[in-house]
Structure 1
Amino acid sequence: MEKKDLKTTWQKTVRISTERRESLNYYKYLCQQIGSEEVVKMRRLALTMIDIGKPLACAYNMYNTITSGSKGEGLHFESSDFDIMFINPFFKVYEPETAVVSKCWSIPLIMNTEETQPCFTQLRLINHPLLRLLFTKIWEQSHLGCMLSSEQYKLFYLSIADQLVTNTVKIHGPCLTDIHDRSDTAMCLKCDQWIIQAHPWIKRPRKVWPSTKIISKIISCGVLFVPIGCKESVNENLEWRISFSVAEKYLIFSFSHTQLLCYALLKILLKEIIEKHKDLKGLLCSYYLKTLMFWISEETDSNVWRPDNIIPCFMACLQRLLYCVKYSNLSHYFIPENNFFYLRFNAMNKEQLETILHDLYEQGINCLASSETLKDYRRQSYNITASLTSGYVEIINETSSYFLNLGFDQLIHILLYYSRTGLCRGLLALHLSKACWFAPDTSLDKYSSENKHQYYKYKHDLSHLLIGVQSEAVSGWLLLASMFYVHKEYVASLTVINHAMQKYTDDKIFTKSTTPSELTFVQTHQLNLMKNEKLYTVLKTLTIDPLMFQEKSSIIPKELQLVVKYCHIMYPPKAFSDFLRFLCYYHLHDTKSCKYHFKQLLNTIVNSSSKAILSSVSPLIMCGIALQLMGEKQIARMCFQAVYTHDNYKTTKCAASSFLNLYSSFENC
């Protein structure tokens, strides 16, 4: 080989080595910012448990659920969304009328696609006069028969939502969404069979992905229908869009982590860069990017999607998006006859979008440098362990409120169903421990006055609260201390409080209030602990949850009973511990200690950071009660007035100002 060829080969090898190293660094950075493979797995597991457990309000507890959106897929970044699909049990869709199950109690609906575009259908009620009396307002008569109106169906469920939570829900496409556009809820219908329109997808030529196993699972799940018609169709209000959400979730879950990160990068590019151009907002959507990823994944070898090749993979995805926009062609993945980009663009916005995509492609991976999520790439170190720690806390934050709505039987069902992995067992152990916080309020003997019943209730509550202390570092102990106080065991309560507050240290992670940026700066010894201990041990040792009492709780101090008369409430652990100490010393007639801990309560509220105080005015209530017990009725009145004025569960500037005035008044007494 000539020297020139050797030099060229060497330069090419160096370049490839440099590109792979850069890709690997970027992959590690994305694991830190978006989630490592293990964190993504845990997010999915937690949400899948929620789907299995049906943690819904009593009005919806007959509905199976499917979590979707970015968070349902295991992604979490600045622009992530969280969607829930409810499968309506009152209806069942069939394709041929001969497939109808006669003994099924659901209302049977028959698909009719003769007058609809691909991916849409009308749903006809089998002629039965008694069935039409059910949900009377959602049927419309057409030349095909009695049809289920998608528009009236949405309005029907909007009216139910408004009765439950007034003026907080609106219609957004096929979904009901909250007024802040943070989450969508879709009331879906289901067909248990794989529909004829999508049959060609099963045998379509493909390289490796998806596997035959995934295809079999997808087919067995059938399809869903969401209440929205094809725009500009004459029968738009009668049409339903065929949804493959369950199938798409299986496909996303089968992605390698590199594939998933490339998909996340496309979403970030859309939400945080392209849609900054107001003229382009809404022109593309996340679903198009998902479809794009499906086609690319089906057409490429699986060995391409490697961590050390993530930058070329992403650039290839961006190039494909540019191609699809340029030629106005992006076919539906399951029903290719539906071209999403047909008549999607006009000449002006198409040219603008093409120009922007081309400029982004020319910048290479630096095109993401202006996004909120990935702007600090060059300044970050790539510590996957830190990502794991913050990921665990994030999952506990996001899923704990869902798990609290589950009964013990549902949690046990999930435990039996998912207990095959240590990760799952650890996550469930935390939630089972947390569920024990509320066992005293679900006891059947709660209201009995007989001594024997009271004894059994005491033992029941004590045993469950002792399990509850295993869920995190501090608040479980404070609940136990509160129970002792309610039973007038003041010395025991003080002993437990002292034990709990020894664990209240600066190295702890405060859930529900710690921001992702704060979680980045986790102490070094925490990371070392993370390497050597299991998830369960790390979280119960390092995290502090807000103290939570259910409505009409039997273990909250009687002085706070009015606060939980109509709703549950959260308390900052440090402030609550100061108040509970004050109450204990008040009943022990220790005036000096009583005043000392009241001042500690004031200091806690004035000097605490937002993560310790939470976004609540509950500490002001405790101050008012303490002042009233000490005979400072005028200042207590000022405190309660401040609470009344700002009782919106937010620590407003005015409420903070009122408290500072209160503190000054006490110091001068």
Structure 2
Amino acid sequence: MSSEKQKSLFFYNYLCQKIGSEEIVRIRRLSPTIIDIGQTGFGVPKVIHSGSKGEGLDLKGSDLDLMCINADFKVYESETEIVHGGLTIPLIMNTVETQPCFTQLCFLNNDHPFSQILSQKTHLGYMLSNEDYKQLCMHFFNLILANNYMKIHGPCLSDISDQIDLAYCLQCNKWICQAQPWVRRPRTAWPSPEIISKMTSCGVLFVPIGCKGSVNENLEWRISFSVAEKFLIFSFSHTQFLCYALMKILLKEIIEQNADLKGLLCSYFLKTLMFWISEELEPNVWRPDNIIPCFMACIQRLLYCVRYSNLPHYFIPENNLFYSRFNAMSKAKLSTILQNVYDQGINCFASSETLQDYQTQIYHITNPLIRANFRTNQQKNYDLINIKKVHLLYNFLHHSRTGLSRGLFAFYISKACWFSPVVSTYSHSSENKQQYSKYKYDLGHLLIGLHSDALSGWMALASFFYVHKNYFASLNVIHYAMQKYTDEKIFTGSTTSEFTFIQKHVLHLMKNENLYTVLKAVTIDPLIFHWKSSIIPQELQLVVKYNHIMYHPATFAYFLIFLCYYHLSDTRSCKHYLIQLLYSTANTSIQANCSNFSSVIMCGIAYQLMGETNIARMLFQLVDTHNIYKTTKCAASSFLNLFQL
């Protein structure tokens, strides 16, 4: 084997460790796919994971991109295609005055309330305003959350910390005429006819943003092929996928280190570039022992596109994504950087944060579970699974082709069962039969949910017993579960992906176990409660009055033990576990990525119950004064008013 091929193989193995092996990428893709399946159903908007995480990448700084298909509308290319008698509002595409890849969406009449609120009258008819649409979506979203949690960011709604991008989009079930030439376009062997058929059967989406600089920018909608693009990404060989990841790292960690170039390129441009190159090259070129030449070909193509300001849209080439994108200075600076990258080859990554240790590391492929990303609740557990769809997951579980997919489906079924009582509300019925049915329902689901992780499922069960005033059962569950809280456990809410020596050692010992076994034995999820949850302690009802709340299960355990002993009039034990609660709240490693202010509120409640009102006042005022998040800030204010502190 030539030295060039050996170098490529070495680099490929290194990237499998740093970016992800084929199996790890498969795991990352299966999880959001299962989540998307679990969220569909009557009255539930269809949510599609997109962006890096939906594609199987977990690079530093990547946010969560979700596309929520609004079922109130359905887009058609002409009036003759409209299916009448449905509950959806029909919209007709109008591309007479728009650039390629954009369209206006016309109401048939102005009778519907949505039309009166969201449309603007033009000489072509009543057009759906993308700006008014986004404002209405943001209003409803913030109304549900009872705070100003979301803001408008381009075509999306983003949270205040810019971790989530949610695009409320519209759908046309048909592959539109503008993209029909793509289907018949001459190509090598990629994508295959089977992939093309699947892509075109999904239709297209429309996101609320117009062509920049257009006179009707606020009335235009961008045509999105996000679903089709996921099919293409999933059809990549692993070498293709790693090259795609390298291009993203190049953009974020090298090019955008130059402040003048930040925002000039975006990930979508790189994805488009990869699609064009993949379509033109023979699939057998994308081999592990050829990854460096493949990456260099991508750089060379990007340099060409920048120099000539020409990057055609993959599905609608008439839309040049680089048209008027660069001025003379930015083009010259970007071209110089890309030329330097091309001259350096993969040594350019010596200045990147993710791959800077390439020259000093000798990697070999180990069991994927050693490096797998265990943050399976990264998309936040409270948005994962609609429990009404457990039967759907059950069917998929029994029809899955691989042990990996069966394990992940079993994991999410357990997660869904654990989550159901967490979000279900208190039963206000006074009938014993209904209360007993609710009791059995919650208990049954919580018992199945014990298999979702090593600790949080048990804490949810303990909270259930506490709410039903079975304090000894609650204490028994907590004491048993806390025996599992050992050093090798991996908290999925942690912001770091680095494992300790003990964690690595235990994972190595379990390398022959299936993924589901490892997840339920080694991971610890954050404990999340929703507003009026049927299993949250009454003492915390004010905390979740304004929104869901997240706790580290160990901190919550100490608070729950305190509450149990308080109701059992065991003052000595109360004082002991109040101290444990304080230590846990002060432990920054425990509070990683969980709201420390929520734990401070628990401490304040405990001191108030013990009669230490001065300390309680100090803690509540601390949260009320310093916390930037409205949820816990409002809770602290409520406690101050309630106790007249």
TM bin (shorter chain): 0.7 to 0.9
Partner of 1:660: none
For residues 513 and 315 of structure 1, do their structure 2 counterparts lie closer, same or farther at Cα, with a shift above 3 Å needed?
same
The question of whether the paired residues in 2 share the 8 Å contact of 1:36 and 1:388 is answered with no
1:242 CA displacement: 2.2
**1:71 is paired with a residue of what secondary structure?**
helix
TM-score normalised according to structure 2 size: 0.88
Distance 1:357 1:68 in 2: 28
1:161-203 residue CA offsets vs partner (Å, 9 max, x unmatched): 4544554444333333334443333232322222222222112
Partner of 1:367: 348
Distance 1:26 1:477 in 2: 43
Matched, 1:142 2:127: no
For residues 273 and 386 of structure 1, do their structure 2 counterparts lie closer, same or farther at Cα, with a shift above 3 Å needed?
farther
Matched, 1:42 2:27: yes
Distance 1:599 1:376 in 2: 43
Residue in structure 2 matching 1:539, options 474, 499, 519: 519
Matched, 1:191 2:147: no
1:118 CA displacement: 2.4
Partner of 1:665: none
Give the alignment of 1:473-512 within 5 angstroms: 473-512=454-493
Partner of 2:281: 300
**2:503 is paired with a residue of what secondary structure?**
coil
1:268 CA displacement: 1.3
Partner of 2:453: 472
For residues 32 and 61 of structure 1, do their structure 2 counterparts lie closer, same or farther at Cα, with a shift above 3 Å needed?
farther
Partner of 2:54: 72
Matched, 1:548 2:533: no
Q: Partner amino acid for 2:390?
A: L
Matched, 1:236 2:179: no
Distance 1:450 1:107 in 2: 42
Q: Partner amino acid for 1:292?
A: L
The question of whether the paired residues in 1 share the 8 Å contact of 2:92 and 2:107 is answered with yes
For residues 378 and 524 of structure 1, do their structure 2 counterparts lie closer, same or farther at Cα, with a shift above 3 Å needed?
farther
Matched, 1:621 2:601: yes
1:583-634 residue CA offsets vs partner (Å, 9 max, x unmatched): 4444555554444333333333345634579332333334344444444444
Residue in structure 1 matching 2:18, options 33, 36, 48: 33
The question of whether the paired residues in 2 share the 8 Å contact of 1:86 and 1:188 is answered with yes
Partner of 1:200: 181
Matched, 1:599 2:579: yes
Q: Partner amino acid for 2:449?
A: G
1:77 CA displacement: 0.4
Partner of 1:89: 71
C-alpha RMSD over aligned residues:
3.2
For residues 253 and 507 of structure 1, do their structure 2 counterparts lie closer, same or farther at Cα, with a shift above 3 Å needed?
same
Matched, 1:262 2:243: yes
Partner of 1:111: 93
The question of whether the paired residues in 1 share the 8 Å contact of 2:423 and 2:530 is answered with no
Matched, 1:396 2:377: yes
Give the alignment of 1:357-436 within 5 angstroms: 357-380=338-361, 382=363, 384-385=365-366, 388-398=369-379, 400-403=381-384, 406-417=385-396, 419=398, 420=400, 421-436=402-417
Distance 2:214 2:87 in 1: 33
TM-score normalised according to structure 1 size: 0.85
1:475-496 residue CA offsets vs partner (Å, 9 max, x unmatched): 3223333344444544443332
1:73-104 residue CA offsets vs partner (Å, 9 max, x unmatched): 11110132332223233333332443333444
Residue in structure 2 matching 1:124, options 106, 113, 123: 106
**1:334 is paired with a residue of what secondary structure?**
coil
**2:310 is paired with a residue of what secondary structure?**
coil
Matched, 1:341 2:341: no
Matched, 1:63 2:42: no
**Residues 301-310 or 210-219, more deviating:** 301-310
Distance 2:177 2:559 in 1: 66
Distance 2:347 2:319 in 1: 34
**1:232 is paired with a residue of what secondary structure?**
coil
For residues 306 and 175 of structure 1, do their structure 2 counterparts lie closer, same or farther at Cα, with a shift above 3 Å needed?
same
Q: Partner amino acid for 1:140?
A: Q
1:237-264 residue CA offsets vs partner (Å, 9 max, x unmatched): 3333222222211111111111111111
Distance 2:343 2:534 in 1: 64
**1:617 is paired with a residue of what secondary structure?**
helix
**1:469 is paired with a residue of what secondary structure?**
helix
Partner of 1:664: none
For residues 135 and 178 of structure 1, do their structure 2 counterparts lie closer, same or farther at Cα, with a shift above 3 Å needed?
farther
1:119-167 residue CA offsets vs partner (Å, 9 max, x unmatched): 23333334x3535x54214333333333334444444434444544554
**2:452 is paired with a residue of what secondary structure?**
coil
For residues 578 and 36 of structure 1, do their structure 2 counterparts lie closer, same or farther at Cα, with a shift above 3 Å needed?
same
1:392-451 residue CA offsets vs partner (Å, 9 max, x unmatched): 412333353322xx3322132233246414323322323332333355467799445566
